[in-house]
Structure 1
Amino acid sequence: MPIALGLEGSANKLGIGIIQHDETGKSPAKVLSNIRDTYITPPGQGFLPRDTAQHHRDCILEVLRKAMKEANVTPKDIDVICFTKGPGMGAPLTSVAIVARTLALMWDKPMVGVNHCIGHIEMGREITGAGNPIVLYVSGGNTQVIAYSQNRYRIFGETLDIAIGNCLDRFARILGLSNDPSPGHNIEQYAKRGKNYVPLPYTVKGMDVSFSGILSHIESLAEEQLKAGTVTPEDLCYSLQETLFAMLVEITERAMAHVGSQEVLLVGGVACNEKLQEMMGQMAEQRGGKVFATDERYKDIYDARQ
């Protein structure tokens, strides 16, 4: 069975995975190793492409060594080297691509450039066993409802401005939340302790959504009401999640009805949010459908770009 080594470095999370594929397609791929190292900045700060690229260059060989050791493979066992071709941050992508190209030349292996978005979708399908689902792809740089139609992936709806992960992370900066392990994760933990819903704008336009106005509104609330003590950071995080996720559930359900699908696949860093999975699951259950989602092992970072 062929073994693929993959290198991902499109943002501040550097990852190297080794997967063994079943050529017959009867069994799912076996993950032999999945090693990551994240560039974490101080609270309230994003990450610059230059600094992120330097982080990747500094630790990529050690991450590679750990991945090879955990998978118990040698260069002779590797059949193909894959790398994230884009989209993503240019400098980190370039740093990782250079290493991938060097390994391919040293080990005399073929290379495959992988589209970041399609990689998320196909990884999700492989891991969860989803057939032909409606895909909600939510991360720091992407918010899209996607379905496979006529031999290609097609976008049915998307954000009209910033991505949902970017929205969450920028609000985390307002609250001064830690970037470890990620600001979006820490907002999720705050939201679990929230009790009072604060009304926020709800912006769905057909199959598309808009987050920038919601972010501006809740930033104003934070500045005014947190100082006055009329709301808590937990309540604001809870309200933001409830509003954003309800918008995503609405456009996903509309896409399911349009395509006639009974499956939803959640991919991207924000897709690991338990509340989003719960809300999407409730919607799918009411339609007689099912939700597929990856867990933290396959989480893509969704910190906002600087």
Structure 2
Amino acid sequence: MLVLGIEGSANKIGVGIVSDNGDILSNPRHTYITPPGQGFLPKETALHHQKHAVRLVKESLDIAGVTPSDIACIAYTKGPGMGGPLVSCAVVARMLAQLWKVPIVGVNHCVGHIEMGRVVTGAEDPVVLYVSGGNTQVIAYSEQRYRIFGETIDLAVGNCLDRFARVLSLSNDPSPGYNIEQLARQGSKFLEMPYSVKGMDVSFSGLLSYIEEAAKSLLAKQEATPADLCFSLQETIFAMLVEITERAMAHCNTSDVLIVGGVGCNLRLQEMMQVMVSERGGRLYSIDERYCIDNGAMIAWPGLLAFKNGQVTPFEETTCTQRFRTDDVLVTWRD
């Protein structure tokens, strides 16, 4: 059984094809990159997705060496995400489902990241740290739901990093977070910053406001370099994330951790998490940018799992929702 998945919740559009044994047959994507100092807006991002969607579908079929008649189902990102880009990809999914006369399955973007991480790494039942541009959550599975144990109460970690990258006018190619990571490796001076953990939740808005303001005077007085600022920001944010992840591990009585989402590619985050997990006698599961960053296969795979368990989205319900909670999804494919 083959399923084609379409992802386009933010500035990346991807189309992937997976088989029911977990093989990823193809997974091309294209990123909308804006000039340094600028973010991406819904309208322009939606137009980008519309421009590249059909080409990526054809490319995905060619790479996989299959034809539309081989596809059993179409999966698409129902949410969460940016409205315009989500709708653009949903329209493509509906069009293909009608042309190819196959069912359609709406997929939760967050669950897509989790299931992609599980199938690629082989992790069975870890605590999941989901960190991306729009989401920051600590998650564990229980009774057919991915339960959220902790999350950001304001900004997502990726959004925090991206916005600080604009302050330094860092390039958005391949991503601002990646360029912060590279610059942070050159930093040597740690600057004390606000550390805001509230129980199982984290807050980044105060930290961002502080470093945006402090950066101006520190750089002007040459008391710190851009590398020092990136280094200090990363160390502070990642320490907060490791803390709430460890607290969830203790609550769930588990020693394994899976990191997913675009920020999960960050090697320093993986390194810090590895230290904590090793001290608890557990194992860290992480994935590289092929599967961490938004992609079509991460939508195709949970779509396939849901489809095999009898879940199909009625055509009149193939809409999108910008706010679609991870724990709203009934995970029928797990015991």
State the TM bucket, normalised to the shorter chain.
over 0.9
Tell me what 1:46 maps to: 39
Contact 2:255 2:277 in 1 (8 A): yes
Aligned to 2:173: 180
1:14 aligns with 2:7: no
Give, in whole Å, the separation in 2 of the partners of 1:53 and 1:208. Answer: 32
Q: Partner of 2:74: helix, strand, or coil? A: strand
Per the TM alignment, residue 281 of structure 1 is displaced from its structure 2 partner at its CA by: 0.7
Query: Residue type matched to 1:17 in 2?
Result: G
Residue deviations 1:254-280 (CA, integer Å, cap 9, x gap) = 000010011101010001100001110
Partner residue, 1:229: 222
Q: Distance in 2 between matches of 1:299 and 1:280?
A: 16
**Greater RCO (Cα-Cα under 8 Å, separation 6 or more):** 2
Name the structure 1 match of 2:147.
154
Cα RMSD after superposing both structures? 0.8
**Which runs of 4 or more aligned residues in structure 1 lie more than 6 Å from their structure 2 counterparts after TM superposition?**
none
For residues 102 and 213 of structure 1, the distance between their equivalents in structure 2, rounded to whole angstroms, comes to: 44
Match of 1:195 in 2: 188
Q: How does 1:55-66 map to 2 (within 5 A)?
A: 55-66=48-59
What amino acid sits opposite 1:53 in the alignment?
Answer: A
Q: Deviations over 1:218-266 (max 9, x none)?
A: 1111110101111000000000000000000000000000100111010
Alignment of 1:1-306 (within 5 A): 2-22=1-21, 29-300=22-293
In 2: Cα distance, 1:158 partner to 1:40 partner: 28
Where do 5+ consecutive residues of structure 2 fail to align? 295-335
In the alignment, the residues of structure 2 paired with residue 191 and residue 182 of structure 1 have an alpha-carbon distance, to the nearest angstrom, of: 14
C-alpha separation between the residues in 2 aligned to 1:229 and 1:209? 31
DSSP 3-state at the match of 1:104:
helix
TM-score with structure 2 setting the length: 0.87
- Distance in 1, matches of 2:204 and 2:3, equals 38
Gaps of 5+ in 1: 23-28, 302-306
Deviation at 1:7, TM superposition (A): 0.2
1:136 aligns to what SS in structure 2? Answer: strand
User: Partner letter of residue 256 of structure 1?
Assistant: M
Amino acid at match of 2:264: A
- Percent of residue pairs identical: 63
Letter in 2 for 1:130: A
TM-score, normalised to structure 1's length?
0.95
User: 1:156 and 1:214 mapped to 2: Cα distance?
Assistant: 22
Shift of 1:300: 2.4
